[in-house]
């Protein structure tokens, strides 16, 4: 059998298709072609055979050869959403075809405008052991031979006949950062399914399960650092599976080597030690409970318990085919709903919802649900069973990262059940309530309104998605409360005080008055700051300090302007690049950047795409590496992805008002890196024929830039400190590690010293220094930065007026004196005491 090209164009390995279902060879090996001839809109047959199936949306079909090899031809990625638009089949099921015979007429222009990719993909769908080796050529013509297969049979070397006694293989260490969770477990099971002999997988110190069952594999809770071995009658199969485990089972090997926050799962699951814990709560009298903090703040309200409501889920369905359609439509609607919700939340919350979308698009969940449906169950019963099983596996994994994903899994379960069975009645939150809940999901937080003042949960963590969203909304929260809170009488007065770390019920009259006064002062201070937010940013003695917005969208930009933002000191471009399989076009980017400029009359600083490290993108090429946080990220990826950056730079240079535009490059550590990006900007400026050059600056995220600021200053127009990464690299503390999070602070004297050194070097060349990291949104650290020499602060819109008001409250001499004393302190705690004592913040 020969496999030919169905169209003319650029030949692409299937691993580069921007869809994990194809790239990870879940359907089988193959290849793809990007058509280079838009006027030739015909897809021809790559093989001789019989049309077995034409998809109802006409974007894909299967040809079965005489050797019973099934060849899938799939046009584009996510083209099922076009519902047949742009496709006209020229054959029907049962028709015999030969190489070169016309199969489909397609509208390439329409597909390219509405789908993530227009690649024509060819897959050997029922040949799991076949590896497709492509010819050494980049371009092919339609009907050119791409791959040959002798009689549809694989090489004898890959036989899996294995008829001898079962033997145990060697122990292999798991390097996947989050262990064998859903995707690598599914990948392993699919590999094993390709063999006709039984295969078992055993966890060292644990049990042995059928390696064909991804659920069974996940149930073992295999974490990073655990060892497994395979048992089989064929040693070659064991060797192949050992290698698959070493390769990461389809996960990025770079990520596989990244130290995980859960490398010590037993410790990660321990309840934090709380001194002077008072337990149990007495809801009939004044009592307080020390609890770990999920989201900071102080609030007062009345208790409201969110009771769990049981659903009536039908067990039997209307038949497997119908129930599978019902479930597929529900998943499609849920994905559409998530897309709509992402447009109305902050950038960080949008990334969380994007993660939920990825769960819904994971074929493993649908495959497992389909298996339950095939047993005669309804779509809702199957989905509920599968997602709850997966959530329980996550929760019991002993892996902190996976345990936090249990809430996300239960969240998408509820989302689908709402669609299939109707929404459950929403809780009727009273005014000024403190919500008591067993577990909070991101969807719960999305539906919160101003009546909710605080949250106390039984299950949770400070790094859970729900906690992140609470912090973004300024809602105080505690977690790991005793289960008895779920039996609290409603309406009892209570206080959440994260400054002192306790949950107080039935406060006495004196405490209640004191807290009400304190909360009123906080609210009054916020209101007063907002009322004068449009005043110029400066110290009490008139030293100009620009207070700008830290934004991730046009919506956030408008909000920051309304709250007194004097331009945007950080406009992240990443949100335009995430959640998609191909990079945004030049026109799409230009419209966004112009929209940011139109949202203010001040300067706009756009950060070039910051990818790599903890921010992988499907279409950005990054080589495998042992430690991605110290590897190829930020500007270091330009060499292998120059086209992506040239497109972005052209989009920026095409904007109007270039005199108000600043381009900022992330993750710089060498002067030569600045020269490289400056050269690209200059070249694209000349190609566009424009005379004006925007300002070009760099982020100070590495100690190298801070220590060498005098060497960098002549080559840049400005510096901007990214406090998260600068803290991470100064303190050698992974910012994603939840156990280290309380220790990694921009208020640490070491980090303050780095910023001071940066400002000293920049000042010699009259180059401004901004802080655009999260710490610029805290009035305490913001005042410290100004005292160290920072001339601009990019704050989040919610706190921007308070930061502006704080800076206006002190003279530059006051701020300098406090900052220098703080820099000589021995700990973050001492720094905060100094600032609070001297500035009363």
Q: Which residues are catalytic?
A: 465, 772
Nearest of 430, 438, 488, 440 to residue 467 by alpha carbon: 440
DSSP conformation letters of 434-468: EEEEEE--HHHHHT--TTEEEEEEEE--TTSHHHH
* CA-based nearest residue to 99, from 124, 140, 65: 65
Q: Dihedrals φ, ψ of 28, to 5°? A: 135, 175
Gap between the Cα atoms of 750 and 825, Å rounded: 9
Tokens at 554, concatenated = 């046009």
Query: Across the strands, what pairs with 163?
Result: none
For 743-807, list the strands marked E by DSSP: 769-771, 792-795
Is it true that the peptide bond before 280 is cis, omega within 30 degrees of 0? yes
SS3 793: strand
Asked if 731 and 743 count as a contact pair (C-beta separation under 8 A), the reply is yes
Q: What is the DSSP string of 465-497?
A: HHHHHHHHHT--EE----GGGGGPPTT-EEEEE
What CA–CA distance (Å, rounded) separates 620 from 117?
15
Q: Do residues 85 and 110 lie in contact, with contact meaning Cβ atoms separated by under 8 Å?
A: yes
Rounded-to-integer distance, Cα 353 and Cα 349, Å: 6
- The whole-angstrom separation of Cα 52 and Cα 795 is 59
On whether the CB atoms of residues 323 and 304 are closer than 8 A, the answer is no
Per-residue b/e over 628-652, b at no fewer than 16 CB within 10 Å?
Answer: bbebbbbbbbbeebeebbbbbbbbb
Number of continuous H segments (helices) and E segments (strands) in the chain: 28, 34
φ, ψ at 184 (rounded to 5°): -65, -30
Radius of gyration of the chain (CA): 29
Three-class secondary structure of residue 659 per DSSP:
helix
Q: Cβ contacts of residue 378 below 8 Å, gap of 6+?
A: 313, 314, 315, 316, 317, 318, 323
Report the chain's terminal Cα–Cα distance, integer Å: 77
408 Cβ contact partners less than 8 Å away, ≥ 6 residues apart: 355, 356, 359, 441, 442, 465
Residues 6+ apart with CB under 8 A from 710: 761, 764, 765
Torsion of CA 489, 490, 492, 498, to 10 degrees: 100
């Amino acid at each position: 059998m020969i496999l030919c090209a169905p169209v003319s164009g650029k030949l692409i390995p299937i691993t580069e298709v921007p869809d994990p279902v194809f790239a990870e060879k879940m359907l089988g090996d193959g290849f793809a072609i990007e058509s280079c001839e838009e006027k030739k809109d015909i897809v021809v047959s790559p093989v001789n055979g019989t049309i077995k199936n034409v998809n109802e949306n006409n974007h894909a079909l299967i040809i079965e050869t005489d050797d019973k090899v099934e060849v899938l031809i799939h046009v584009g990625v996510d083209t099922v959403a076009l519902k047949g638009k742009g496709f006209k089949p020229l054959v029907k099921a049962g028709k015999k075809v030969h190489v070169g015979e016309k199969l489909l007429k397609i509208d390439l222009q329409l597909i390219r405008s509405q789908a993530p990719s227009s690649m024509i993909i060819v897959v050997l769908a029922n040949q799991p052991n076949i590896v497709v080796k492509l010819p050494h050529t980049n371009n092919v013509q339609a009907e050119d031979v791409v791959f040959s297969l002798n009689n549809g049979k694989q090489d004898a070397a890959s036989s899996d006949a294995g008829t001898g006694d079962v033997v145990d293989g060697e122990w292999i260490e798991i390097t996947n950062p989050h262990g064998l969770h859903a995707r690598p477990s599914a990948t392993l099971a699919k590999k094993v399914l390709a063999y006709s002999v039984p295969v078992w997988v055993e966890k060292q110190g644990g049990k042995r399960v059928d390696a064909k069952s991804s659920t069974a594999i996940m149930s073992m809770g295999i974490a990073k650092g655990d060892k497994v071995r395979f048992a089989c009658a064929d040693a070659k199969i064991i060797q192949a599976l050992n290698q698959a485990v070493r390769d990461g089972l389809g996960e990025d090997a770079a990520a596989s080597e990244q130290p995980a926050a859960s490398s010590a799962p037993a410790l990660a699951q321990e309840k934090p030690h709380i001194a002077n814990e008072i337990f149990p709560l007495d809801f009939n009298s004044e009592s307080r409970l020390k609890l770990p903090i999920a989201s900071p703040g102080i609030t007062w309200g009345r208790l409201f318990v969110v009771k769990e409501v049981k659903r009536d889920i039908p067990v039997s369905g209307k038949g497997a085919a119908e129930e599978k359609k019902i479930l597929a439509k529900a998943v499609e609607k849920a994905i559409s709903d998530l897309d709509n919700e992402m447009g109305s939340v902050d950038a960080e919350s949008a990334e969380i919802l994007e993660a939920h979308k990825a769960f819904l698009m994971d074929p493993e969940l649908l495959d497992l649900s389909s298996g339950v449906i095939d047993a005669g169950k309804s779509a809702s019963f199957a989905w509920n069973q599968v997602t709850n099983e997966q959530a329980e596996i996550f929760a019991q994994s002993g892996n902190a990262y996976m345990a936090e994903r249990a809430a996300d899994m239960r969240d998408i379960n509820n989302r689908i059940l709402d669609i299939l069975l109707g929404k459950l009645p929403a809780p009727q939150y009273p005014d000024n309530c403190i919500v008591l809940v067993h577990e909070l999901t991101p969807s719960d937080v999305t539906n919160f309104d101003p009546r909710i003042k605080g949250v106390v949960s039984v299950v949770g963590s400070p790094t859970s998605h729900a906690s992140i969203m609470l912090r973004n909304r300024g809602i105080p929260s505690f977690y790991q409360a005793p289960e008895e809170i779920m039996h609290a009488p409603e309406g009892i007065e209570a206080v959440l005080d994260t400054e002192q770390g306790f949950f107080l019920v039935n406060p006495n009259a004196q405490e209640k008055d004191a807290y009400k006064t304190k909360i009123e002062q906080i609210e009054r201070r916020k209101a007063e700051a907002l009322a004068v937010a449009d005043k110029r940013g400066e110290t009490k003695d008139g030293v100009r300090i620009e207070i700008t917005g830290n934004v991730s969208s046009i919506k956030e930009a408008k909000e920051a302007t309304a709250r007194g933002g004097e331009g945007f000191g950080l406009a992240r471009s990443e949100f335009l690049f995430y959640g998609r399989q191909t990079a945004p076009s030049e026109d799409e980017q230009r419209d966004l950047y112009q929209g940011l400029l139109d949202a203010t009359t001040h300067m706009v600083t756009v950060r070039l795409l910051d990818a790599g490290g903890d921010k992988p993108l499907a279409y950005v090429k990054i080589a495998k590496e042992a430690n991605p946080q110290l590897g190829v990220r930020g500007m270091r990826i330009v060499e292998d992805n120059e086209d992506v950056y040239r497109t972005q730079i052209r989009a920026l240079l095409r904007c109007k008002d270039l005199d108000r535009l600043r381009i900022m490059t992330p993750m710089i550590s060498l002067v030569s890196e600045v020269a490289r990006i400056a050269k690209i900007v200059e070249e694209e400026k000349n190609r566009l024929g424009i005379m004006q050059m925007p300002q070009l600056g760099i982020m100070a995220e590495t100690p190298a830039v801070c220590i060498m600021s005098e060497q960098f200053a002549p080559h840049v127009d400005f510096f901007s400190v990214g406090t998260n990464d600068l803290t991470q690299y100064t303190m050698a503390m992974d910012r994603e590690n939840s156990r280290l999070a309380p220790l990694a602070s921009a208020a640490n004297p070491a980090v303050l010293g780095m910023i001071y050194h940066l400002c000293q070097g920049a000042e010699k060349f009259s180059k401004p220094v901004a802080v655009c990291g999260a710490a610029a949104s805290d009035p305490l650290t913001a005042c410290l930065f100004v005292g160290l020499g920072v001339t601009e602060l990019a704050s989040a819109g919610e706190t921007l007026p308070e930061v502006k008001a704080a800076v206006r409250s002190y003279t530059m001499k006051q701020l300098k004196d406090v900052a220098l004393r703080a820099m000589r302190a021995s700990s973050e705690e001492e720094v905060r005491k100094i600032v609070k004592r001297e500035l009363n913040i």
